[in-house]
Amino acid sequence: DHLGDIALGQETVFREAQEKSIPVSHHIAHLVVHGYLHLQGYDHQTEAEAEQMESIERKALQHMEITDPYEGDQQ
Confidence category of residue 34, pLDDT binned at 50, 70, 90: very high
**Within-domain flag for 20:** yes
**Within-domain flag for 46:** yes
- The count of structural domains within the chain is 1
Structural contact between residues 67 and 26, judged by C-beta atoms closer than 8 angstroms: yes
pLDDT surpasses 60 at 40 = yes
Confidence category of residue 73, pLDDT binned at 50, 70, 90: confident
pTM: 0.91
**Within-domain flag for 5:** no
**Within-domain flag for 57:** yes
- pLDDT attached to residue 4: 97
**Within-domain flag for 69:** no
> What CA–CA distances, in Å, run from 44 to 11, 21, 53?
25, 24, 7
- pLDDT attached to residue 69: 94
Q: Which domain holds residue 48?
A: 10-63
- Under DSSP, the state recorded for 40 is T
Helix locations, the chain, DSSP H: 10-20, 24-39, 47-63
